[in-house]
Amino acid sequence: MEPVDACGSIPDIVLNSEKLYEGDLSFYFKMICKNARNLTNPYHNFSHMFNVTWLCYQACIFYKDMLTPVEMRILLISAMWHDFNHSGKMGDDYLNIEQAVEGVKNYITPEDRKYLATICEIIKATEFPHKIPSKSLPLLMQIIRDANVAQAFSTTWIQQVIFGLSKEWNKDPTEILAAQCPFLSNLDFSTEWAQQRYPERVVKAKIAEANALLKLMRGIA
């Protein structure tokens, strides 16, 4: 398959303007905006949740001949809710996963209740550090994992990752930035979609950018 990308604004994705998946997600979007306590966290915020959702939507386009409209719906609901009510603090990530699972259970629609167990399992697959190798998981779980760790390739990565995580983890931004190089060097995307979207040259360019930024920041008196 050829690599595919589509802009897909949040309204387009939520309203399913391209009729890619089953139904639309307007109810879930409204519930998150009205009820999530983490929308303005430094990193685990609205931007991160919907960057993951946007990337999962791109993956749905890539795998449109493999995934059913229902599977795409399940994946996108999972992505929207995967960090719901995240604490925004360093700690055991399983506690944040529990918050997300509890949230989606509270707001699941009657029509989607039959998919709830699968949605919860997909959300649980995002727990970090990963406990199960990604390549041994079903495709939907592989996609959300690859999307979840790809924040470093977004246009807002310096604000989101470097300054966002430094605030949440109570660390100096240079410490977070220094950790980006080994993190990026060890990225092992499991899906063909992510491998094509972030080939080795793209990863190497991001590592070079992180190293150059680190030198600039350390040079600040």
**Which of 24-33, 86-95, 108-117, 169-178 is predicted with the least confidence, judged by mean pLDDT?**
86-95
| pTM listed for this prediction | 0.94
| CATH number of the domain where residue 122 is located | 1.10.1300.10
Domain that holds residue 173: 10-218
Q: Give 27-51 pLDDT, tens digit per residue.
A: 999 999 999 999 999 999 999 999 9
Give the mean pLDDT of 86-93.
90
- 43 in a structural domain: yes
In the numeric block, which tokens belong to residue 137? 């998981």
- 4 in a structural domain: no
- 170 in a structural domain: yes
In this prediction, residue 130 carries a pLDDT of: 84
Cα separation, 151 vs 55, whole angstroms: 10
Domain count, the chain: 1
In this prediction, residue 144 carries a pLDDT of: 98
Give the mean pLDDT of 192-205.
97
- 3 in a structural domain: no
In this prediction, residue 210 carries a pLDDT of: 95
Which of 152, 147, 155, 129 is closest to 194 using CA atoms? 147
Contact status, residue 101 vs residue 120, Cβ threshold 8 Å: yes
- 134 in a structural domain: yes
- 5 in a structural domain: no
Q: Give 127-163 pLDDT, tens digit per residue.
A: 988 888 899 999 999 999 999 999 999 989 999 999 9
163 three-class SS: helix
- 108 in a structural domain: yes
Q: Is the dihedral of CA 204, 206, 212, 215 positive or negative?
A: negative
- 1 in a structural domain: no
Q: How far is CA 194 from CA 4, 160, 191, in A?
A: 11, 20, 5
In this prediction, residue 1 carries a pLDDT of: 34
